[in-house]
Structure 1
Amino acid sequence: MLLNRRISVWYFVRGIKSQIILISIFAISIGLVDMHPTFQKISLPLSIPALVGTAVSLLLAFRTAQSYERWWEARTVWGAIVNDSRNFLRQLIQFVPESNKNVISEFCDRQIVWVYALGEALRKQRFSPRVQAYLNLHDINAMNTPNALLDEHSKAIKHLTSEGLISEFKQVQLNETLARLCDSMGKCERIKNTVFPRSYSLLVHTLIYVFAAILPFGLEDSQLVVEITMTILIPILFIAIEKTAILMQDPFENTPVDTPMTSLAQTIEISILQMIGEMEVPKKETTELYYEM
């Protein structure tokens, strides 16, 4: 997630480098064609390129709004995961007798592993050594590892009830919190697996090139350099806006605008370890980059 620090301009330029080159070649070609005697007599009212530019602007505004909505939903869901993780351990501390602190520690360890595993699964990364060691130790092998860990939570809660350590009413409360964690996981998976329609990007790109193609015919032919410069700059601005939307629309892709799931997992780990009275609590890692993961 981007922080209030200087953002690397080159990171963004590298993302649209190919489009800049393509637009520049296209604009120079159209500008030279416009200077040909055959096309010099062709003159379009400037209102026509303005109309196409307005259409592109409206489409980009919608695209950016939808992308930000996906990004913000992802961040809101992970905020709920932070809260529900704390509430889950708080309930266990209240419900489980103090003589069974080892049971609470097991839930704590499993919940910490779950948040790290969920973030790594959403980014489609290999599980970290810590997560993999826990999975190997408890012989957990499933296609959806985070869901399997929640199943282990559910089995442990059922065991507590059958042993008489918690009442059925407390079991219901714990299951409700567990259900909210499962809902949050499902929302993350929905965002991850829902692809933004490719046809929308194709339409925007087509209109941008149509705009670049007709703009020189609405400008003065006497100023070729200005004509080509404007034909390059304005479409590049449109492409830059679209690139911003593309970066935001997938908040689990391990990029600078990614939801900071690792950082949030560290926050959860520190919080619940402090709640159970653990003395060796890891410090929150800081980064010198302009974003945190």
Structure 2
Amino acid sequence: MINYNPKEWFTFIFRIHRGDTVRQLTPMLISLSVYVALIAFLELEVFKLGENSHLKNITILHGMLGFVISLLLVFRTNTAYDRWWEGRRMWGTLTNNSRNFAMKINALLSSSDTKHRQFFNDMLVEYAFALKRHLRGHQNNSEVFASTIAVEHDVHKPNHIAKLIFARLNQLYENKTITGTQLLLLNEEFKTLTEVCGACERIKNTPIPFSYSVFIKKFIFFYVMTLPFGYVFSLGYIAVPIVVFVFYVLASLELIAEEIENPFGVDNNDLPVTQMCKNIQKHVGEILSL
């Protein structure tokens, strides 16, 4: 995720970063420029179509459809941002829940019980990092511990870690280290771990419906490809940059929506989940005095 000062207008205007839509769309912008210039040349120089041509009336259709396509893109970007924001809420919940869990464990365990303190510290931290790797589609070795949890490649690692945490809580209850009431108190924090994981999986694994995504792309394509037929009569060759700019605006909105609808990746606009995991590691360690 890019950290920035929203008040620096001129910096934004002249800054081009790796994920900028201009770079992604450059080949299509060049191709579209050639296409519009060819249409203008054929209408003005070859066929010499004048103001009496019926093609100039196609601009009426573009005016009507422009409102429709704007509504579609607004809905598209709002839906994508809602997914991005829900992902941020879920990771905020995981951070707060890890702190609360650590605070309760710290109060319930004696200061000399370093074994159990270390276990819960390691498991809470590793759960966050394992969830991050799970959402990004891989389960490499832990970035935090040398050999904390060894599981099979196809095992759901966050679930495995949650299972180990609850097994240890149950062991503390059976050993009468904690009471039944205290176990129920900790269970509320434990339950949130899997709820956050499930919500993040829902965001990642449920993209926008295929038909809707295809329709928007086709709509933008045919809308832009027919623009020069009517606007060449009133704009001449100036229609080339105008049509290219219209396409850039419409396509950029779709590209931005595609990028942020899965906020757990490594794109510039994705959530800084690695930094959130490190914050959890720092705060849980401080609470448990490790």
Common topology (TM > 0.5):
yes
Distance 2:17 2:62 in 1: 30
Q: Which amino acid aligns with 1:173?
A: L
Q: Report the counterpart of residue 140 of structure 1 in structure 2.
A: 151
CA contact (8 A) 2:173 2:180 kept: yes
Q: Report the counterpart of residue 8 of structure 2 in structure 1.
A: none
Q: Which consecutive residues of structure 1, in runs of 5 or more, have no partner in the other structure?
A: 279-293
Evaluate the alpha carbon distance shift between residue 21 and residue 197 of structure 1 in structure 2; reply closer, same or farther with a 3 A threshold.
farther
Residue 269 of structure 2 aligns to a residue in which SS? coil
Match of 2:223 among 208, 211, 216: 211
User: Is residue 3 of structure 1 aligned with residue 3 of structure 2?
Assistant: yes
CA contact (8 A) 2:39 2:229 kept: no
The CA deviation string for residues 236-283 of structure 1, in whole angstroms up to 9 with x for no partner, is 1111111111111111121111111110011111111111223xxxxx
Match of 2:119 among 99, 103, 106: 106
Distance 1:17 1:123 in 2: 28
CA contact (8 A) 1:113 1:134 kept: no
- CA shift, 1:223, in A, is 4.1
Residue 133 of structure 1 aligns to a residue in which SS? coil
CA contact (8 A) 1:27 1:212 kept: no
Distance 1:19 1:132 in 2: 46
Deviates more, 1:237-246 or 1:19-28: 19-28
Q: Report the counterpart of residue 47 of structure 2 in structure 1.
A: 37
The CA deviation string for residues 120-177 of structure 1, in whole angstroms up to 9 with x for no partner, is 1211245245357334xx4433610111001000000000000000001111111111
TM-score (norm 2): 0.87
Distance 1:129 1:77 in 2: 22
Residue 164 of structure 1 aligns to a residue in which SS? coil
Distance 1:157 1:179 in 2: 13
Evaluate the alpha carbon distance shift between residue 253 and residue 114 of structure 1 in structure 2; reply closer, same or farther with a 3 A threshold.
same
Evaluate the alpha carbon distance shift between residue 59 and residue 273 of structure 1 in structure 2; reply closer, same or farther with a 3 A threshold.
same
CA contact (8 A) 1:86 1:271 kept: yes
Residue 190 of structure 2 aligns to a residue in which SS? helix
The 5 Å alignment of 1:118-129 reads 118-129=131-142
Q: Which amino acid aligns with 1:24?
A: S
What's the RMSD between the two structures over aligned residues? 2.2
Q: Report the counterpart of residue 15 of structure 1 in structure 2.
A: 24
The CA deviation string for residues 187-222 of structure 1, in whole angstroms up to 9 with x for no partner, is 111111112223223222222232223323332526
The 5 Å alignment of 1:219-234 reads 219=231, 221=233, 223-234=235-246
Evaluate the alpha carbon distance shift between residue 28 and residue 85 of structure 1 in structure 2; reply closer, same or farther with a 3 A threshold.
same
Shift >6 Å, 4+ stretches: none
- CA shift, 1:45, in A, is 5.5
State the percentage of identical aligned residues: 25
Q: Which amino acid aligns with 2:47?
A: P
Residue 217 of structure 1 aligns to a residue in which SS? helix
- CA shift, 1:26, in A, is 3.4
Evaluate the alpha carbon distance shift between residue 22 and residue 172 of structure 1 in structure 2; reply closer, same or farther with a 3 A threshold.
farther
Q: Report the counterpart of residue 26 of structure 1 in structure 2.
A: 35
